[in-house]
Each structure stands twice: as structure tokens, then as C-alpha cells.
Amino acid sequence: MILLAVVIFGAALIALSQGASSVGFKDSFAALFQNSGLAHAIIWKLRLPRIVMAMLVGCGLALAGAVFQAILRNPLASPYTLGIGSSAGFGAVMAIVFGSGLYNEYLIAGNAFFFALLSSFLILGIAKLKRSSPETMILAGIAIMFLFSSLSSLFQYMGTMEQVHEIVFWFFGSLSKVGWKEISIAAVMILLPCPVLLKWSWDFNLLSAGDESAKTLGVNVTRVRMLGIILASLITAGAICFTGVIGFIGLVSPHITRMIIGGDHRFLLPASALVGAVLVLTADTLGRTLWAPQVIPIGIVTSFIGVPFFFYLLMKRTREYW
């Protein structure tokens, strides 16, 4: 855990010092605390918001993924595979297109959250109605994902040039457009549910032993599941609404963490949040520097880094995790 914190701090420093305009490592560090000059502007206006947002988004998606996996007792669950990502995305796109041209942060965030909740309740409803297996839930989630993707495409089709540009940007996942205002909104949405989720980490462990056992050990299963989904949806919406769909992180960070430290949610939740943050941050730094001054959208880079790493861990693992 401490190691992870060190890693993330290091990654943040490196990310800070790299970029299209070459402000060196030392200069960038100095510029953090100076109050003038070009370097200062680049660091505070461009790089730092990006880095903070990258970490927030990574944390959020990974945390939401871990919570979904625990609550639905399903290794395939994640904001993306459950369709919650794409419906939050649809909400945001809707806000962009119908927001009558004005770019309103609160509207986008609110709408994203609303649609995230909508689809998560849809999945919960299906689960409840048919007492369905985790597989059905994932299938329902994928169906929802396609539904909202096509709805978003429809808006894209109808939108003006400018809107389309915005939407496309959004679908690749991009950290380019964030400022401190967006960060503060996202931070509230992502960080607020954290203490509750951490308090419940014990209950998440019990849920993995089965609903019945959890009930007889005094866990209010229905409440934990409902509120857990609401909170995880809030986090997902917070992570996605300003940066677009970054798919892979939510699914993979909890698994990576589980392979490294095991399945105890008391450690799994915070650790996968950190892993997620490191992943997104690294991906973004690479995306900015590999092809500078071109910036490769974050959504693309995360998959490029995350997938091979995940395969590596899958091959290397010594015991069964699911």
C-alpha cells in the first residue's frame, strides 16, 4: 500500500515534467511554487489539472469496478461491462447536444449521473425480477451498453459539426478539456462515497460468501446492494462525465490488485483505487509524450498498456482468483 502511494507520487512527478513543451523536471517542480512565468502557466493551467483529473478518474473507475464486482459477485462486472459507463456517457452527450449550446458542467454531470443510475437500476430490476444469475446481469448490461451507444450515435448523427466534434472527442476519452472547476465537481462525486464504501468493505467480504451467509451474519444485504450500486454509479458518473468513456480501467484494476494483494476488500478497495490512478496517469503521460505534440486520447492508450499487463498477470498467476 505504501509502495503504491510512492509509485503514484513518482508517476505524478514524472507526468508533471513531461509534455509537449519541454519544461524540465527541475523547472516544473520549481514552477509549482513560483508564481510567474511560462512554466508556471503550463504547469498550473495545463498539466496539473490533467494529472489530478487522471488520478481522480482512475481512482473512481477502479473503485466503482471493485464495488460492482463485490456487489454482483461477478468478475466481469465493471462500470463499462454493465453499460453504466455508456449510459452515463449518453447522459453527458445528451447534455452537450441539448444543452442549447452552453457548456454547463453541472448539467452534464447531473445528467450523466441520472443515466448511470437509470441503467444500474434496470440491471438490478432484472436481477430481482428473475432471480437471475450473474451471467444474465452481465448480458443485460451489455445489451444496455449497446442501446446507449447507439442512442449516442444517433445524437451524433443529428448534431451540428461542432457538437459532433465534441462528442467524438468524448468517446475516445480525453483529459484535454478539464479545468479546476470540472475537477472539483468530479472530486466531490468520486470522493464523497468513499468513506461509506470503506466502512462497508467488511460487508463486501461477507457478500462474497453468499447472500444467505451474509444475512445470517447480520448484513442487511438488500440495503448494502442498493446503496452500493447507487454510490458506485455516482462515482462512475463523476469519473466519466468530463473525460469520456475510458473503458478498461474499471474492469481490470480490481483484478490486478486482487492478484497482487488478495481479495480482502478492506485492502482491495483503496489499493485498486490507487492502481487505477497509476494506470490512467501512466497512460495519459505516455499518450502525451509518445507522439508529442500530438496527444493520443487516453481511452486508446489505457487499453494499449492495460491489456498486455493484464495478460501478463493472467499467465503468471499461481492460484485461482475467481
Partner 1 sequence: MLKVQGLFFRYKNINALKDVGIGLNKGEVLSIVGPNGAGKTTLLKCILGIVKPVKGSILIDGKDASRMKRLNLAKCIGYVPQASPSKFPISVFDAVLMGRRPYIVWKPSKKDLEVVADLLKSMDLEDVALRDFDQLSGGQKQKVLLARAFAQDTDYLLLDEPTSNLDLKHQMEVMEMISGMVKRKGMAAMLAMHDLNLASRFSDRMVMLNAGKVFCTGEPLQVMTVKNIRSVYGVESEISLSNGHPYILPIRPVDQ
Residues 6+ apart with CB under 8 A from 32: 16, 43, 44, 48
Length of the chain in terms of residues written: 322
Peptide bond into 293 cis (omega under 30): yes
1 near partner 1 (CB under 8 A)? no
DSSP code string of 38-84: HHHHIIIIIIHHHHHHHHHHHHHHHHHHHHHHHHTT-TT--TTTTTH
Cα 102 to Cα 197: distance, rounded to the nearest angstrom: 35
Contact pattern from residue 36 through residue 75 relative to partner 1, giving x for each residue in contact according to CB under 8 A and a dash for the rest: ----------------------------------x--x-x
Which span (20-28, 119-127, 202-210, 236-244) binds partner 1, by CB under 8 A?
A: 202-210
Contacts with partner 1, 252-291, as mask; x by CB under 8 A: ------x---xxxxx-------------------------
Query: Beta strands of the chain (E only): which ranges?
Result: none
Q: Rule CB under 8 A: which of 70-99 touch partner 1?
A: 70, 73, 75
Q: CB 79 → partner 1: shortest distance, Å?
A: 19
Q: Which of 9, 202, 311, 312 binds partner 1 (CB under 8 A)?
A: 202
Q: At closest approach, how far in Å is the CB of 280 from partner 1?
A: 24
Does 322 participate in binding partner 1 (rule CB under 8 A)?
yes
The residue from 26, 131, 316, 319 that contacts partner 1 (CB under 8 A) is 319
Residues 205-224 close enough to bind partner 1 by CB under 8 A = 205-206, 208-210, 212-213, 215-220
C-alpha distances in angstroms, 229 versus 1, 32, 164, 305? 26, 38, 31, 28
Instruction: Give per-residue burial for 290-310: e unless 16+ CB within 10 Å, then b.
Output: eeeeebbbbbebbbebbeeeb
* Residues near partner 1 (CB under 8 A): 70, 73, 75, 199, 202-203, 205-206, 208-210, 212-213, 215-220, 258, 262-266, 319-322
